[in-house]
Structure 1
Amino acid sequence: MTPRELVDHALEMLLAKDMAAFSRLFAEDGVVEFPFAPPGYPPRVEGGAAITAYMSGYPGLLDIREFPEQTVHQSTDPDVVIAEFEAAGFVVATGKPYRMRYVAVLTVRDGRIHHYRDYWNPLAAAEAMGGARELNTAFGGDGGE
C-alpha cells in the first residue's frame, strides 16, 4: 500500500472498530508518539504488541461514526505523509458527543506504519471523556498522579 492508501485503510479500520486489523498496519518495531500528551498520559507506545494493547479498548471508549473531513499531504519524503482529519462520534461511557481534529505524521515503509506522530488536543479529549483522570486512565496512563 502507498502511504495515502494506508491512511485511508487505517481510518476504515477505526470506523469498523477492527482494532486487530488497525494494529496490524504497524510494523513490529512501530512507534506511536503523542507530542502533546498531558501529564499521566503515555507519551510513546513502542512495538507491535504494545500498540495492539493500547488500541484494544478503543471501541469501548469512543464510538467513532465518521471522519467528515480528511486530507492527506505528501511530504517531500515519499515515505512520509501528513494526515489531517476530524473524527466524529460519541464517548461510550457518557454518551457525550465527540468531535476532534487530528494531525498525524506517518512514516510508512514496505506498506506498514513505522512511525505515527499524533498531534491532538488533550484538553478537548479530556473534556469529552469527563476529565483528565478519565482520559489518562482510559488510555493506559496513570491518571495524572
Structure 2
Amino acid sequence: MVNKSEKDQNLPKNAGEIIFNKLLMGLNDSAEAVIDLFHPNTTVEFPYASSLGTTPKMNFEEWYNYLKGGLPSMPNIKYDSIRVYQVDEQTYWTEVYGETRIPTTGQLYQQNWVMYFTLKEGLINFYREYWDPYAVVNAFGNGDLEAVKAVFNTVEK
C-alpha cells in the first residue's frame, strides 16, 4: 500500500513500511489486531486529543481501551496517499488520507493523518499521531463533543 514509483515496486519494504501497512489493515479489523503491533511498554500520544477530552498520552492498556471504543465507529476506512519516510533504522514518519462513513451519524469522516513511530523488538514502542480534531467532532458527534467522548471511551467517570 505504500506509494512507490512503478520501477520501485519490486524493492523490498523496510520494517516501518511493513508494520505501517499492518497497522492500517488492523485499524479495519479489530483493536486486538492493532494492539498486537505495539510493544507492551508503548507510549501513544495524540497531541491534539485534549481538545476532544481524550488524554493526549496513553499507555498500552489505555490505548487498547481507546481502540475498542473507537474502531467499531469507523468501519472500512479507505486509505489513499500513503507515504512512509524512514528517519533511521527504527524511526519513521508517515502520512495517509482516509475516509469512512460513520454509522451512528451517517457523516463522512475524512482525515489526513501524520504519524511518527519508533520500533523496538519489531513492535511499535512509541507512537504519535496528528489529526484534525474538527473533522472528528463533525463526523462522530455531529458537532457534539460529549458524543465524541462517549465513542472513544473518554467520558469522565
Match of 2:7 in 1: none
- CA RMSD after TM alignment: 1.7
Are the counterparts in 2 of residues 85 and 101 from structure 1 also a CA contact under 8 Å?
A: yes
Return the alpha-carbon distance in structure 2 between the equivalents of residues 142 and 70 of structure 1. 32
Alignment partner, residue 23 of structure 1: 35
Amino acid at match of 1:96: Q
How many pairs align?
140
Matched-pair contact (CA < 8 Å) for 1:42–1:140: no
TM-score by length of 2: 0.82
Q: Which residue of 2 aligns with 1:45?
A: 58
Q: Which moved more, 1:93-102 or 1:124-133?
A: 124-133
Q: Which has the higher strand share?
A: 1
CA distance in 2: counterparts of 1:106 and 1:63, whole angstroms = 24
TM-score (normalised: structure 1) = 0.88
Q: Tell me what 2:102 maps to.
A: 91
| Rg larger for | 2
Secondary structure (helix, strand or coil) at the match of 2:53 reads coil
Query: Where do 5+ consecutive residues of structure 1 fail to align?
Result: none
Which residue identity is paired with 2:23?
A: A
- Structure 2: which 5+ runs fail to align? 1-13
Please name the residue that 2:147 is paired with.
Answer: 134
| Alignment match, 2:85 | 73
Amino acid corresponding to residue 42 of structure 2 in structure 1: G
Partners of 2:95 and 2:33 lie apart in 1 by 21
- In the other structure, the counterpart of 1:61 is 73
C-alpha deviations, 1:2-39, integer Å up to 9, x for none?
Answer: 12210011101112x22211111101011110111215
One-letter amino acid of the counterpart of residue 121, structure 1: D
Query: Percent identical across equivalent pairs?
Result: 24
Report whether the alignment pairs 1:122 with 2:125. no
